[in-house]
Amino acid sequence: MRAVARLLLPLALPVVVFVAWWFLSAGSTSPYFPPLADSLEEFREVWLFDRFFSDLVPSVARFLSGLVVGTLAGLVLGVLMGLQPRLRRDLAPVTEFVRAIPTAGLVPVALLLFGAGYGMETLLVAAAVFFPILVSTTDGVRSVDPVNVEVAKSYGLSPAQRLWRVIVPAATPRILAGARIALSIGLAAMVIANMLASSSGLGYVIIDAKTRFDLAAMWAGLLMIGVLGTLANAAFLLLQRRLLGWHRGWRGATP
């Protein structure tokens, strides 16, 4: 019974919000806030039929491709910067400068360099994901207790073995904390890229609906962003649970 309650409790607030939204908007005559029933009907028509393969699937593919590319690049460079103080010192000014530029500000540059299309949007998502992964990986590697590394060294572990058996596992909690932040930032970057530099995709559908003053379709697009974010976060939590099942501090902090 307690396990069922723990499973259902996180669903309580979203259900309450949707029920309240349903009844409060039921009699709405405002064109800006249509009834939730209209938005859900539009959601079914747009995302389950009309634009599923033409817009939703390509957007998810760009998001996943950029997520993989940005994560791998951030992990590799983050480990190197965490292990090499001189490299970290030399690269810090450049990484901090570029990290301060919002994703929307990179769209014109990406269009000039790569042109509109799948590759450009994937690179924008990768750039947005890269920096949270880089910062969390660098901090995670730097935070590893040097005593543990020295003990591993005294037992005869090679540098590669010390990296994979000591440093990376110890840094994993911080890396995954940054990865969870990067997940939402990457999803936002995908939507921004669709809105500003594409003629298809989830963000484009929202902008197109706004231009046509089809507010129900616009709200349906926003609902789809929420659905994708929720599914991505749920998948990430399953991965995190698998990777950090050994970590007592993480187990104690996770219901």
Closest CA to 82 of 156, 149, 127, 129: 149
In this predicted model, what pLDDT tens digit does every residue of 146-193 receive, in sequence order?
Answer: 898 888 888 888 888 999 889 999 899 999 999 999 999 999 999 998
Closest CA to 129 of 183, 62, 60: 183
Residue 167 domain flag: yes
Distance CA 250, CA 247 (A): 5
In this predicted model, what pLDDT tens digit does every residue of 59-93 receive, in sequence order?
Answer: 999 999 999 999 999 999 999 999 999 999 999 88
Domain boundaries, position 196: 51-204
Residue 38 domain flag: no
Instruction: Decide: 59 and 203 in contact? Cβ < 8 Å.
Output: yes
Residue 210 domain flag: no
Residue 41 domain flag: no
Q: How high is the pLDDT of residue 7?
A: 59
Residue 168 domain flag: yes
Residue 196 domain flag: yes
Residue 153 domain flag: yes
Mean pLDDT of 233-239: 89
What is the number of domains present in the chain?
1
CATH number of residue 198's parent domain: 1.10.3720.10
Q: What does the block give as tokens for 150?
A: 């020295």
Residue 189 domain flag: yes
